[in-house]
Structure 1
Amino acid sequence: MLVAYTPAFLAGVASFALVPLEGLRFTLLRSALTIHFLKRLFEVLFVHKYSGVMEVETAITISMSYFLSTASMIYAQHLTSGLPEPPIDLKHFGILLFVLGISGNFYHHYLLSELRTEGGDNKYKIPHGGLFDLVICPHYLFEILGFVGVSCISQNLYAFSYTFGTMFYLIGRSYATRRWYQSKFDNFSENTKAVIPYIF
């Protein structure tokens, strides 16, 4: 997973050296993307406990996807430099959503990591704590909120398009995860939704 996340993180870091300051919105966007992938690297090193190994080809594909998406989002924001600001400024709301998203995502990743013990019982269990009693994938819910925040910071079409793609992908994964838990655990609560509390 270090291979998957490092290039995107480096793209964010490099943008500070390669692209001059172009206003608060641009600085906030590249900061948010850099922090997002720094958090992912931190989790790989200190939080996650993996049950398997990812094939190199898969890791490279994911890595290129994250890298290109990050670099493209930063470049798209660069292209808006000098254009009039949007009539409704959402960047402060975006910061709030981003911080909420990244914090909630980290917290639920930590709860998932606590289900596995070093050298102990690594059987799958139904997660609990946080929002896990309401949705089986709260970490995806907060990931979506974080990217909605990034889109609100950016307020350009590319960022919103990327967020919609990410949203539909994570909703699909959440749905599949819920079905998997239903098939494996007889005591899985039907009231626990996939990703949106009380709704889906």
Structure 2
Amino acid sequence: MDAILKFIFSSEAEELYILDCLAYCMIIMALLTFVTLLFENVPYGRYATTRYGFLINVKFAWFVQELPAFFVPVFLVFFTSASRTSHLPNQLLLCMYFCHYVQRSLIYPFLIRGGKSTPFASFALAFVFCIYNGYLQTRYLSHYAEYPSGWVTHPAFILGGLLWLFGWLINVHSDHILRNLRQPGETGYKIPRGGLFEFISGANFFGEIMEWAGFALAGNSVHSLAFAIFTMVVLASRAVAHHKWYLTKFEDYPKSRKALVPFVF
């Protein structure tokens, strides 16, 4: 793997420059995505349509599209000269990343019950993004990120780590609620209840946004910040779309619920 990286980049300085560029490009992509999503929902799940390509089984799509977010980092951490992995801040940040994607790529797809098929365009874009972001986050943290002595006791790292943990727990718990809305053999949609769903329609999205916001705060880099911004743009749009859909679909949908932020929005 080191040989491949040396073939692609003439020096470590050049690779670090490219990583910085990729981070800023992700922020630009987030802004363009924000504008696009003002006019179009992300074509997945209940919004899936063949207009965006042939449909793929949802379990297969989730499993394959998320795999690069796990395997690319594995290769970068264990099969390259990952010189910063002996440092505690880097180790903890990498653990945050891996904890999310082990669950998301190796566990979550096999827990899905039913679910609408995924259009090929959505599947392909997610697959490419997982390669892009997996390389960006993991290569920076494993080989380039330098933190001051005592960074793990800095208020920013502690607060970021707690935000990540609570966000991860909210995300996993909310997914559990959604999976268990239907009994075996049942079809159709139901109003989610319990947990943060009592306050917002997008509890699972809120949790994941919180995760990566905490990751960005603890990571203290443009690379982690870019990921947090992109995640917020995409998932906030999904939460708003879901909220509007629920209000239209169910006459008895709780009117006090907000879309994404409890009591606020």
Give TM-score scaled by structure 2 length.
Answer: 0.69
Q: Which is further off, 64-73 or 17-26?
A: 17-26
The question of 1:53 aligning with 2:114 is answered no
Q: Which is further off, 50-59 or 154-163?
A: 50-59
1:187 Cα deviation after fit: 0.9
Q: Could you tell me how far apart the structure 2 residues matched to 1:33 and 1:50 are?
A: 27
- Map of 1:152 onto structure 2: 217
The question of 1:72 aligning with 2:136 is answered yes
Residues 73 and 106 of structure 1: is their aligned pair in 2 closer, same or farther, counting only changes over 3 Å? Answer: same
Asked if the contact 2:167/2:210 (under 8 Å) is kept, the reply is yes
The question of 1:110 aligning with 2:176 is answered yes
1:57 Cα deviation after fit: 4.1
Which blocks of at least 5 consecutive residues in structure 2 are unaligned? 1-61
Q: Could you tell me how far apart the structure 2 residues matched to 1:138 and 1:75 are?
A: 31
The question of 1:39 aligning with 2:103 is answered yes
- Map of 1:195 onto structure 2: 260
Runs of 4+ in 1 over 4 A off after TM superposition: 83-86
Which blocks of at least 5 consecutive residues in structure 1 are unaligned? none
Between the two proteins, the alignment pairs up a number of residues equal to 197
Task: Choose 1 or 2 for highest CA Rg.
Answer: 2
Asked if the contact 1:98/1:147 (under 8 Å) is kept, the reply is yes
1:14 Cα deviation after fit: 2.1
- Which of residues 120, 132, 141 in structure 1 aligns to 2:197? 132
Q: SS where residue 251 of structure 2 aligns? A: coil
Q: Could you tell me how far apart the structure 2 residues matched to 1:67 and 1:35 are?
A: 17
Asked if the contact 2:201/2:243 (under 8 Å) is kept, the reply is yes
Asked if the contact 2:73/2:135 (under 8 Å) is kept, the reply is yes
* 1:24-69 deviations in Å (ceiling 9; x for gaps): 1221222211111111131111x32132222344322201102211
1:189 Cα deviation after fit: 1.8
- Which of residues 52, 57, 72 in structure 2 aligns to 1:11? 72
The question of 1:25 aligning with 2:86 is answered no
Residues 50 and 67 of structure 1: is their aligned pair in 2 closer, same or farther, counting only changes over 3 Å? Answer: farther
User: Which amino acid in structure 1 is aligned with residue 71 of structure 2?
Assistant: L
1:104 Cα deviation after fit: 1.1
Asked if the contact 1:136/1:192 (under 8 Å) is kept, the reply is yes
Asked if the contact 2:90/2:145 (under 8 Å) is kept, the reply is no
User: Which amino acid in structure 2 is aligned with residue 129 of structure 1?
Assistant: G
Asked if the contact 2:160/2:218 (under 8 Å) is kept, the reply is yes
Q: Could you tell me how far apart the structure 1 residues matched to 2:92 and 2:116 are?
A: 35
Asked if the contact 2:68/2:134 (under 8 Å) is kept, the reply is no
Asked if the contact 1:12/1:33 (under 8 Å) is kept, the reply is no
Asked if the contact 1:48/1:110 (under 8 Å) is kept, the reply is no
Q: SS where residue 125 of structure 1 aligns? A: coil
